[in-house]
Structure 1
Amino acid sequence: MYAAVAAGGFRRYATYRAATAAGVFTNTVFGLILVHTYLALWDERPHLGGYDQAQAVTYVWLGQALYATFAIQGGGVEKDLMARIRTGEIAIDLYRPADLQLWWLATDLGRALFQLLGRGVVPFVVGALFFPMALPRDAGTWAAFVVALLLGLVVSFGIRYLFALTAFWLLDGQGVSQAMMILGVFCSGMTLPLNAFPAGFGEVLRALPWAAQVQVPADVLMGEASWAGAFAFQAAWAAALLGAGRLVQAAATRRVVVQGG
């Protein structure tokens, strides 16, 4: 059943072809801007954050490939979930013979797969064709990168699901969405690799769950992190966030039942 739900999420986003084409163009343009900014910065500070220029370029294009995949700025299934809570349609979801959290997780995985293939691959290929990139040559590293992506997707969903559940109490999710966007863009490393921040501040950022979305997959791809350590970090945050989502969901649905909604 959940595989069918994921397939439905994939098909739904595949229908927005004009939006996908616009997203590919936007990510490619922003990638070009960021690459030249990074190159200028790395000219002044070689090996900033432990990266050379080729690794910095790789980081930029990987971030552009994963931006929509991980819904770092928001706009994934959490947007639909908050809308359904606000309108009361969430009651239909609660009546389904399916787990609410797993239902939305499957939907989000389908969405993410389409965004990766439909919007993420082209900017990454453009970067690889026109800029020197630090890409692995062995299949094992690519396989480890895929695992890091899957774990990162679960972490990303766990964060956004928790934010979305606040709509049970707040009803209006605009403020939550803005907070989620700011935290996602900054703490994931989209603006600058988390390795490049000063030691104390950087260590705090690298310990937060957002690091599992861009920083950790990038380090796995470029051989800057041990696979076991990276997977353990992502899996721990995925389990913690999904568990917290379960607790908040239970509290929220009890509240709905008590109110008769």
Structure 2
Amino acid sequence: MVFGYMRCYVLLAVAASAPGGQPAGYQPDQLVTYVWFGQGLLSVVMLWGWAELADRIRTGDVAADLLRPVAPVTAYLAADLGRAGHGMLTRFLPPVLIGALCFPMRLPTRWPTVPLFLVSVLLAVIVSFGCRYLVNATAYWLQDARGPIMLWVLGAGVLGGLYFPLRLLPEWLAVALWVGTPLPSILQTPLDVAAERDGPAMQAALIGLQAGWAVALLALAALVQKRAERKLVVQGG
């Protein structure tokens, strides 16, 4: 919560000093929504703290996963979606309520925003899972995935839009990050949808980009898993 207050005051100070009081097109109440909805989504999208697959690879327990009738990617995704659903029910609302009580927050004013936001959050969880799975899967080749996981922790928050809206960056850089990496689809997109930073058409386009990244990452995770299983067989695992 302290982190949320700090971010909120910093961004409101940026807004107060920006021409027209709207840095990168955000009104002050939209920045409040961005911060506190982001605080609520942290435990939902789970940027950090997941190393279960890497630990099971390191200890050899992953062999039991390969004997199950459900593919590892599918099984871990199902568990992650369940975790995210629980987080949405229990961990999302408290930070949002605190932000709404302490700051002038912009709540959705267009009815399509709520369903679009929920779809965006679902896709954000899948994109986050795909990234985390691929980072953990490096343990198949490295045995110890702490290095890649640390790089992920350092990069995900900054390039995912946790610390500040990526639209505060130069436009060409923000677009390059959005199109060239999946990270803005984890937090930046659902937060922009919730804050109604764009019109419905642009909201739908951003969610479409999220969907593309979700499909691509799941396909890549399945491919990496198959290659890893082949490696284990070659090694006699």
- Cross-structure match for 2:16: 43
Matched AA of 1:244: L
Task: Give unpaired runs (5+ residues) of structure 1.
Answer: 1-27
- Cross-structure match for 1:229: 205
- In structure 2, distance between residues paired with 1:167 and 1:218: 32
- In structure 2, distance between residues paired with 1:125 and 1:190: 19
- In structure 1, distance between residues paired with 2:204 and 2:90: 30
Matched AA of 2:49: G
The TM-score with structure 2 as length reference comes to 0.93
How far does residue 116 in structure 1 lie from its aligned partner after superposition?
2.6
Matched AA of 2:137: L
- Cross-structure match for 2:230: 254
- In structure 1, distance between residues paired with 2:106 and 2:224: 42
The reply to whether residue 66 of structure 1 matches residue 38 of structure 2 is no
User: Equivalent residue of 1:70, what SS?
Assistant: helix
Deviations 1:141-191 (A, max 9, x none): 111110111111111111111111100001111111111101110111111
How far does residue 138 in structure 1 lie from its aligned partner after superposition?
4.3
The reply to whether residue 97 of structure 1 matches residue 69 of structure 2 is yes
User: Equivalent residue of 1:57, what SS?
Assistant: helix
- In structure 2, distance between residues paired with 1:36 and 1:42: 10
- In structure 2, distance between residues paired with 1:219 and 1:39: 16
- Cross-structure match for 1:240: 216
- In structure 2, distance between residues paired with 1:233 and 1:140: 18
The TM-score with structure 1 as length reference comes to 0.85
Matched AA of 1:240: A
Task: Give unpaired runs (5+ residues) of structure 2.
Answer: none
The reply to whether residue 179 of structure 1 matches residue 151 of structure 2 is yes
- In structure 2, distance between residues paired with 1:63 and 1:172: 31
Percent identity, please.
40
Matched AA of 1:101: V
Counting only pairs closer than 5 Å after superposition, residues 139-178 of structure 1 correspond to structure 2 as 139-178=111-150
Deviations 1:210-253 (A, max 9, x none): 11111111222222342320221011001111111111111101
